[in-house]
Amino acid sequence: MEKLLNRFLRYVSVDTQSNEESETQPSAAKEWDLLKLLKAELEEMGVEVNLDEYGYVMASIPSNIGTEVPAVGFIAHVDTAPDASGKDVKPQIIPDYDGGAIPLKGVPGLQLKPEEFPELLHFKGQTLITTDGTTLLGADDKAGVAEIMNAVQYITEHPEFKHGPVKIGFTPDEEIGRGVVKFDVSRFGADYAYTMDGGEIGELEFENFNAASAKLHIQGRNVHPGNAKGKMKNAILIGQELNSLLPVEQRPEYTEGYEGFFHIISFKGTVEEADFGYIIRDHDRSKFEAKKALIRQVTDFINAKYGEGTATLTLKDQYYNMREQVEPHYHIIEKAVKAMEMAGVKPKIQPIRGGTDGANLSFKGLPCPNIFAGGLNFHGKMEYVPLESMEKASEVILNLISLFTQP
């Protein structure tokens, strides 16, 4: 078998950063590069596979047992986040990690330090794959892609491995919230599925945020500052005032667990006009709706104070908490727990402080919890993944496939 590390390094070398400003699907033409590569690799393994016009790779491995069992699917996304560059990724391989600071050699003086990221110490003695400090790594979610492909290769090269129907899916644009908008669940053909898109080893998630995006346009009035009294409306300052009306304690840096937040993610502006971007998150649906109501209220307040049309709010729901869709099928969580235990991994069931394609798939009728892919510090230059965690994730996939053959 090809080594998992080599496969992962090949995938992260392909720039697949999605583009939230684009209206196409995939949102960036470069995503096709990896999607086509995956299709070709699956074909080389003798797997039936299709790549459709929307960038969905769907593959199917028929059952090799005589009894009828549920079809189980495994899904990962190929795109990387817009938050940091995914071009010219130069991974660093750190064998037998000693627990110290790791220099990220692309940026002089930059280090991945256990004092700042204490989870590093969980992986002493293991092989770490880091960035060089100039880009993200892409373990989110090319680690998941590599783990699935590694499991597929094992199945195709070991005909004695007993399995029911196995479905494989690779998607674009997850990072911009559009990963499965046009995903045809019936064509995919799975009864149950798992996204391999979680973080640290052991993570198992079937609860995620309810999510919305909020875009605020502030229309100011620019006049010469020498004659501005009573006339100027500074869009930058008005936007700052609106932001100050949102609760400080509900910012991401002050929240954890089930606590939701308002997160300002972008700003561009002048005195004349300014644009602010937010994401709104909460696990509890009623609190989520209350957060959306609050941002509407503060927008109304600004318009009442500075004149109608000063602030224009565009609010859009992105995805919802999958728990209500997955919990009635709790046996798929129990199987994931057992699959991890079989691999010697301690399961950690916890809510996702984010979202996955699995949330939207669950609401499309495909119950789809999320399993660890092994990476940490996603979306930035401090991202890394332990190779041993990736190997365990691939083992968990094979264990799950075996468990679905049992009554």
pLDDT in tens, 114-158: 999 999 999 999 999 999 999 999 999 999 999 999 999 999 999
Check whether the bond before 82 is cis (ω within 30° of 0).
Answer: no
User: Which CA distances in Å does 143 have to 20, 72, 156, 356?
Assistant: 22, 20, 20, 15
78 pLDDT above the threshold of 70 = yes
Planar angle of CA 319, 370, 40, nearest 5 degrees: 95
**Local structure of 196: helix, strand or coil:** strand
What are phi and psi for residue 272, nearest 5 degrees? -70, -45
Residue 105 has pLDDT above 80, yes or no: yes
**Span 248-302, pLDDT tens digits:** 999 999 999 999 999 999 999 999 999 999 999 999 999 999 999 999 999 999 9
Residue type (1 letter), 67: T
The reported pLDDT for the residue numbered 318 is: 87
Strand partners, 215: 277, 314
Please report which residue ranges of 111-209 form alpha helices under DSSP H.
139-157, 185-188
> Shortest CA distance to 167 belongs to which of 333, 366, 32, 339?
366
- Phi/psi of residue 314, each to 5°? -115, 115
- The band of 1, judged by pLDDT with boundaries at 50, 70 and 90, is low
Q: Which tens digit of pLDDT belongs to each residue from 60-72?
A: 999 999 999 999 9
pLDDT, tens digit, for every residue of 333-349? 999 999 999 999 999 99
Q: Decide if pLDDT at 26 tops 60.
A: yes
* pTM recorded for the entire structure: 0.87
Residue-level pLDDT at 382: 97
At 300, which helix (H) or strand (E)?
helix 285-306
Closest CA to 370 of 388, 350, 385, 389: 350
Q: What is the mean pLDDT of the chain?
A: 96
Domains of the chain: 4-207+321-403 (3.40.630.10), 210-319 (3.30.70.360)
**Residues 95, 104, 394, 13, Cα dihedral to 10°:** -120
What are the residue numbers of the active site?
79, 174
Instruction: Please tell me the distance from the alpha carbon of residue 44 to that of residue 48, in angstroms, as a whole number.
Output: 10
The pLDDT confidence band at residue 354, using thresholds 50, 70 and 90, is: confident
Ranges of H-type helices in 158-267: 185-188, 235-244
In this structure, are residues 251 and 261 in contact, taking their beta carbons and an 8 Å threshold?
yes
Distance of CA 146 to the CA centre of its chain: 15
How confident is the model at residue 407, as a pLDDT? Answer: 76
Radius of gyration of the CA atoms of the chain, in A: 23
> Where are the extended beta strands (E) located within 23-126?
48-51, 57-61, 72-77, 92-94, 102-103, 111-112
* Cα angle, residue 42 at apex, residues 181 and 18 outer, rounded to 5°: 35
* pLDDT score at 319: 87
Instruction: Determine which helix (DSSP H) or strand (DSSP E) holds 268, and give its type and residue range.
Output: strand 261-269
315 touches 295 (CB < 8 A): yes
Helix (H, G, I), strand (E, B) or coil at 225: helix
Q: How far are the Cα atoms of 80, 105, 370 from residue 135, in angstroms, in the given order?
A: 11, 12, 26
